[in-house]
Amino acid sequence: MPVSISGTNGVTFPDSSLQASAASPNVLKNRIINGSFGIAQRGTSFTSTSSLNNDDTYNLDRWFVLSDGNDIVDITQETSTVPTNELTAIALDVETINKKFGIAQIIEQVNCIGAIGNTVTLSFQAKVSATTKLDNVKCAIVAWSGTADTVTSDIISAWGAEGTNPTLIANATYENTPVNLNLTTSYATYSVSAAVDTASTKNIIVFIWSDVTDTTLGDFLYITNVQLEVGSTATPFERRLYNQELANCQRYFEKSYNIDVTPATVTMIGSVNTNAAGAISNRPFWFCKFNVSKRATPTVTIYSPNSGTTGKVGGPSAVDYSGTTVYSSMHGFQVYQSQTTAVADGDYYCQWAVTAEL
């Protein structure tokens, strides 16, 4: 039978494990969202076809690629080459040789509380497909001292020569001195610690990259289980429940489509709909409420379920009509059919995706 333990402020805990959790300042310790790359609302593969592998572009949830040019790497949610007992990783596949590349995540200011002004540790598991070329992978804890949550996501001013740490833009500062982590062809855990003590730091950015300029087409860098925590020692990766991690991601990006369906796919599944008469004064009009309130008023993109075309809604007989969003807020938005001529009577449908990324 569990023994009750009296906690602080008169609270009674049924056992010591709960008391430890309540007392620890590092409960929900990992400041990184989607550190195992298990959430992939935008899709699971990003190539030049979609342009979502371009420099300074978000792909797997909460993560964006930084590269010395566009189409430097293809990006995939990896499900085969993963550590034992893991499900997912990110795979970065060299598509343009002899260029530096990496991934980054910006941590919202409210999630930096307790980390700014203290020592933090960045840890992750990683491997390369071969060490003949990808033989210098580095990582950095970067402080942003500009306006809070108004971060210039392309933090690289100049990538520099091989082995030379990239030059950061104004208001971005390395808190550690990045060095070669000496990755191998087997997964291992790597970590660095640093004091986040740059004056007026508002946000923290984690950055992991290949610092070589002599690569081969088809070289792979694999990364998973990224964690940023307060303290000078890396501890085991904090794994959140899937629905909790999804909700964390949806604060920044959400869509009407099913979780495994890429935005702009031609499908009615998940779409919102309304019915209206064809008179111009009775344009179809409806409200889309988010599952999770956004960090800020988001940018809204609507798609026709008939064709996947942006800025369109789907009408009767699979006809597309112009659509307009209005009254966007952190909680939802309204959309209406904005055709300037009379439209057919019947049902109208709309798919959508919204982003409030940093």
Instruction: Answer yes or no: is 161 within a domain.
Output: yes
Decide if 211 is inside a domain.
Answer: yes
Would 200 be classed as within a structural domain? yes
Q: Is residue 160 situated within a structural domain?
A: yes
Whether 275 and 168 map to the same domain: the answer is: no
Residues 68 and 18 in one domain: no
- In 3-state terms the chain splits into helix, strand, coil percentages (rounded to 5) of 10, 35, 55
Give the whole-angstrom CA distance, residue 133 versus residue 163.
12
Query: Looking at the predicted structure, is the pLDDT value of residue 7 above 50?
Result: no
Segment 178-206, tens digit of pLDDT = 999 999 999 999 999 999 999 999 999 99
- Give CA–CA dist 173/197, Å, rounded: 10
Are 37 and 21 contained in the same domain? Answer: no
338-351 residues labelled b (16+ CB within 10 A) or e (exposed): bbeeebeeeebbbb
Residue with tokens 């993109």: 301
Q: How confident is the model at residue 255 (pLDDT cuts 50, 70, 90)?
A: very high
Q: Is 228 exposed, middle or buried (0-12, 13-18, 19+ CB in 10 A)?
A: buried
The answer to whether position 250 is within a domain reads no
23: enclosing H helix or E strand: helix 16-23
Whether residues 204 and 313 share a domain: the answer is: no
Same domain, 139 and 202: yes
What is the CATH number for 324? Answer: 2.60.40
Model confidence, pTM: 0.91
Residues 111 and 205 in one domain: yes
Could you report the per-residue pLDDT of 39-67, keeping only the tens digit for each? 999 999 999 998 999 999 999 999 999 99
Q: What is the DSSP string of 185-200?
A: SS-EEEEEEEE---TT
Using 50, 70 and 90 to split pLDDT, how confident is the model at 20? Answer: very low
Domain count, the chain: 3
User: Residue 6: its pLDDT value, please?
Assistant: 35
Residue 280 has pLDDT above 80, yes or no: no
User: Is residue 9 over pLDDT 50?
Assistant: no
pLDDT for position 345: 84
Q: Which of the two residues, 355 and 340, has the higher pLDDT score? A: 355
Together in a domain, 217 and 266: no
Instruction: Find the domain containing 304 and state its range.
Output: 255-355
Last residue of a domain, one of 173, 208, 241: 241
| Span 129-148, average pLDDT | 98
Specify the pLDDT at position 94. 98
Question: What is the CATH classification number for the domain harbouring 105?
Answer: 2.60.120.260
**Residue 286, pLDDT score:** 84
Percent of the chain having pLDDT more than 70?
Answer: 91
Provide the pLDDT for residue 152. 98
| SS3 of residue 17 by DSSP | helix
pLDDT per residue as tens digits for the range 220-235: 999 999 999 999 999 9
CA–CA separation, 249 vs 262, rounded Å? 15
